[in-house]
Amino acid sequence: MAKLGVGLLGCGGIGLHHARRLVRQEHVELVGVADAVPEAAASASAELGVPAFAGYDDLLARPEVAAVLVATPNHTHREATLRAIGRGQATSSARSRWPGPSESATR
Ligand SMILES: NC(=O)c1ccc[n+]([C@@H]2O[C@H](COP(=O)([O-])OP(=O)(O)OC[C@H]3O[C@@H](n4cnc5c(N)ncnc54)[C@H](O)[C@@H]3O)[C@@H](O)[C@H]2O)c1
């Protein structure tokens, strides 16, 4: 079975938490990481053994990225998610609180 290629956007606390578990999954392959702070992406890249990209667009443009784990601050989730969906990629957002339909429609 082909592995699902996953890109990590946001290499902070929860992004790294999930990524460390993703790399142990049989049917999933972490294929790249990106962060607005180059040092954060570089550190995650070195730890996880995958390429680092500068931000949304460089990561999402990679053909091996079939799904994106969005682990950036809440206010950036909408843009990141819509960009990924626009490319036909699946997304999952790390959120400690779901804002609900009325709030999410405006954020
Ligand atoms: N920390 C937790 O326990 C926890 C639990 C559940 C959900 N969450 C959610 O996960 C998300 C991230 O939380 P965190 O604690 O990991 O934050 P964090 O600040 O540790 O990490 C966020 C990372 O995103 C990067 N970033 C910010 N804007 C960016 C952009 N536009 N493009 C690329 N990278 C960008 C930052 O440089 C940083 O490395 C939040 O939405 C939070 O609510 C966190």
Nearest ligand 1 atom to alpha carbon 11 = 39
26 Cα to the center of ligand 1, angstroms: 26
Q: Do 47 and 18 contact (CB within 8 A), yes or no?
A: no
Mean pLDDT, the chain, as a whole number? 91
**Confidence band for 95, pLDDT divided at 50, 70 and 90:** confident
- Closest residue by Cα to atom 1, ligand 1, is 14
Would you say residue 104 has pLDDT above 60? no
Would you say residue 18 has pLDDT above 90? yes
- Closest residue by Cα to atom 3, ligand 1, is 14
- Closest residue by Cα to atom 29, ligand 1, is 36
Q: Which domain holds residue 41?
A: 4-105
Task: At 22, list the tokens.
Answer: 């993703």
**Confidence band for 105, pLDDT divided at 50, 70 and 90:** low
Q: Which amino acid, residue 70? A: V
DSSP secondary structure string, the chain? -PPEEEEEE--SHHHHHHHHHHTT-SSEEEEEEE-SSHHHHHHHHHHHTS-EESSHHHHHT-TT--EEEE-S-GGGHHHHHHHHHHTT-EEEE--SS---HHHHTT-
Full-prediction pTM beyond 0.85?
yes
52 Cα to the center of ligand 1, angstroms: 16
Query: What percent of the chain is modeled with pLDDT above 70?
Result: 89
Number of domains in the chain: 1
CATH number at residue 30: 3.40.50.720
Nearest ligand 1 atom to alpha carbon 10 = 24
Q: Which amino acid, residue 30? A: L
**pLDDT tens profile 22-72:** 999 999 999 999 999 999 999 999 999 999 998 889 999 999 999 999 999
CB atoms within 10 A of CB 55: 15
